[in-house]
Structures are given as structure tokens and as C-alpha cells.
Amino acid sequence: PEGDTAPRPAATSVDERFTRFDRHPGYQQLKMMREGGKRLGIPDPFFKVHESTAGATTVIGGRECINFASYNYLGLAHHPRVIQAGIDALERYGSSVSASRPVSGERPIHHELERAIAETYEVEAAVAFVSGHATNVSTLGYLLGPKDLLLHDEYIHNSTVVGAQLSGARRMSFSHNDPVALETLLARHRRQFERVIVVIEGLYSMDGDAPDLKRFVEIKQRHQAWLMVDEAHSFAVMGDRGLGLREYCDVASTDVDIWMGTLSKTLSGCGGYIAGCRELVEMLRYFAPGFLYSVGMPAQVAGPSLAALQVMKDEPERLKRLHDISRYFLEQARLKGFDIGESIGVAVVPIIVGSSVLAAGLSDALLQHDINVQPILHPAVPEKSARLRFFLNCDHTREQIDQTLEVLETEWKARAS
Ligand code: PMP
């Protein structure tokens, strides 16, 4: 064949910065982080291996620890009914649905889960994706295009930003929890775009604070934009019945155009959902890329999430305990003079320590006392607001919290002197 004898183009010569993974800026950053940690004698705070279920307590390195690093807020990931639902679904449907949902991956348990989510939200329909991150990426990437605008809180989760990038829409952020800043942007830019979507979260997982939903609803209505609320950390957490931000702020569910949430937090599975009107959900089921081109959710994930939602309703004392213990943590942290930022004291409370080195050092010191709490370091948050981030759990006791804050105070003082 001609190809065998035809002269080949000259080989390409490229600087090795562009061919070697160890010259990639990401790897360079990782190396610097590790060397910095080593110099300061602070072990890598990431990828700690938990050898048991992770609720109010966990096992790390063979030792039982008080645990503040898992978002299993109602302790349902190890609830007997939730586990049994996983076993039943696995036995009934097997370990994989072996196809994407539109093309033979559909199982009754998907419908049961989606119906239960839609009913809980009091909206027409819901659809469940295999990943929470992919839910935002796919939904926003699909719904918006280059003539559209996405406005989001400056602290919005990465999945919304990536979804905006995929869509090609213009993207602007407004200052955290600031409806006035949002309205300024809408007044200035709304007319230049076709669709405009505003994305906020129900409970911000780094800060434990929440938006004033009523004001956001009023503003999006005035400027004819869609409002999407990411309830990853607020659904099944906020409100006396666990109905999320709408219950907490007393807003009708239909005042929000797109409810998004994850199955990975209180609902004790893995995946995400969109809940809203029938047209929205139908469209996503047929066309959203992360749904259409991805395998259907395994039944042993859907089953436990459905059971977790039911247990939340059947055992309302869990929510009450979560709210009570969160408030107790907030109050005690305040009494000790810790900076807890703007946390409202529901499930997530940060203690801002002011530098990444101190946050990592304190987290390591706490672990020596069998207390596991994740440090949140720059660049996840600005350097001066590096923090320890506490996820509360309905099974935490006051004694565990007293002990934790005591140890933290002592270790912090030791470093200050
Ligand atoms: N949205 C928010 C606000 C989140 O915090 C997260 C991750 N915790 C996600 C989306 C992605 O969800 P998942 O981890 O379930 O993929």
C-alpha cells in the first residue's frame, strides 16, 4: 500500500514540560504541598482510611475516634433498614443494571426513589443521576448555551462552575449570600441574555450558613430568571421535617425552578437528583449527557437512599437530635471564643483558625487524641480563613463535644505560646 512507501512527516520535538506528567503544574503543586507538610512535620491530612462505618465515631488506624468529618448527618448509612434495603435490592436486581437507563437500564426501584423525592419536595417529578457532581455538570451543561447567563454565589460548589463551563454560557458570581449583589447583576445584564439561571446552595458546606431564600425568590421573579438551589447539604438536614431550605425559610417548593440534591449525604447512597416540573425532568431524562450516556444507578444504591428517606420521616427524633447537638456545638464553641464565622448551627460548623499550617497542625493534634476533623486549607478557602470544619451527627453526645473543644483549646494555646 502507498502509505508504506510515502515519506513520513518529520517527528515532532516538544519541550518535556508538555510531555511528562511530573512536569505538569498540578504535580508540581502536589510536590510543593507535600514538601511543605514534611518540613513542618505535619502528615498529609488527606485520604485517611476509615476501617468501619463513619458516623459520630469511626475507626482510623485501628483506633476508635470521635468523628466530625463525615456527612452521614442522621447516621443512616449504617441504619439496619438502610442496609437491608441495599441487600434486598442487590439480591433482586443484581450488582449492575448493565445499561444506561433509556436503553434497558430502567428498574422499578429508580421510579420508587424518584417518586419519593418528588413527593417529598411536593413537585411533579424527579430524576436521579449516578453522581451528584455529574448532576450539576450535566443539568447546567445541557440547559444553557452561549446566549445564556449563569449567576452564582461566589462560594458555589465546583460542579456548578464546571457545568457552566460545559454549557458555554456567560458566568458571573455575586458576593456570598448577598441578594442585593445578585439584583445589581440582574438589573445590569438580564436583557442581554436569553435564559438566565441563578444558582445558590441550601447550606454552604464550608461555612454552615444559608441564604435568605425568600429574597432570592422575590428577585429572580422580578427579573424573570430561573432559580436553582443545590441542596446537597440542606435536604434531609434543614427544617423540622428535613424538607430542606424551603421548610427552613417557609417558601413554596414551586417558587424554586430547579431543586438539586445529592444522595451521598443524609440519603446515604451515591448520586444526585433534580426535582421540579414535569417538562424539566422529562427533558433531562432524554437528553442530559451524564444521564443518557452513563449507566443507570445500581439498585443497591437506589434502595438504601429510598430507605434513608423513609427512615428520616419515620424517625423524626433523629433530625431533632441533629439540630439540638449542632446548636450545642455552636454555643459551646462560641463560649470558648472560637470564630465560627456565620454558621447558623445546623449540621455544619467551622472553627476558623486563620492559617493552613495551623489548621493542618490542629487537625493532626486532634487525631492524636482520637478525634477526627478535617482541616480545610487554602486554596479551598482563602488562606486567612483556613479552618477546621465540623460535620455534626445526630449520634454525637455532649460529652464528645465538650471533650473535643477542650482538646482543641489546649492544643491551640500550646501552639500560640
Ligand atoms: N453540590 C454540593 C454543594 C456539594 O457539596 C457536593 C459534594 N459534596 C456536590 C454537589 C457533589 O455531590 P457528590 O459528592 O454526591 O457527587
| Distance between Cα 146 and ligand 1 center (Å) | 25
Between strands 258-262 and 272-276, the pairing is antiparallel
Compute how many other C-beta atoms are within 10 angstroms of the C-beta atom of residue 116.
17
pLDDT of residue 88: 98
Ligand 1 center from residue 267 Cα (angstroms): 12
Domain range summary for the chain, segments of one domain joined by +: 38-67+316-416, 78-314
How close is the Cα of 42 to the center of ligand 1, in Å?
A: 28
Q: Please, which pLDDT band fits residue 146 given cuts at 50, 70 and 90? A: very high
Q: What does the pLDDT average to over 381-403? A: 97
CA distance 156 to 343: 16
Residue 262 CA, closest ligand 1 atom number: 15
Fold of 78-314: Aspartate Aminotransferase; domain 2 (3.40.640)
Prediction ipTM score? 0.99
Give the mutation target among 71, 154, 159, 204 for probing the ligand 1 site: most ligand atoms within 8 A of CB. Answer: 159
Mean pLDDT within 317-346? 98
pLDDT in tens, 64-83: 999 999 999 999 999 999 99
- Measured in Å, residue 132 CA sits from the centre of ligand 1 at 5
C-alpha of residue 38 to centroid of ligand 1, in Å = 30
Mean pLDDT of 92-113: 98
Give pLDDT, residue 326: 98
Residue type, 148: D
- 383 has a pLDDT exceeding 70: yes
Residues within 6 Å of ligand 1 by CB: 131-133, 136, 157, 159, 201, 205, 230, 232-233, 262, 264, 272
- Per-residue burial over 268-283, b if 16 or more Cβ lie within 10 Å, else e, is bbbbbbbbbeeebbee
pLDDT of residue 42: 87
pLDDT tens, 171-229?
Answer: 999 999 999 999 999 999 999 999 999 999 999 999 999 999 999 999 999 999 999 99
Q: Measure Cα distances from 115 to 95, 284, 288, 301, 302 in Å.
A: 22, 16, 19, 16, 12
pLDDT of residue 5: 83
Tell me how many degrees the CA angle 411-416-417 measures, rounded to the nearest 5: 100
Q: Among the atoms of ligand 1, which is closest to the Cα of residue 263?
A: 15
The predicted pLDDT at position 341 comes to 97
pLDDT band for 2, please (50, 70, 90 cuts).
Answer: low
Q: What is the CATH number of domain 38-67+316-416?
A: 3.90.1150.10
| Average pLDDT over the chain, rounded to an integer | 97
d(CA 274, CA 124): 11
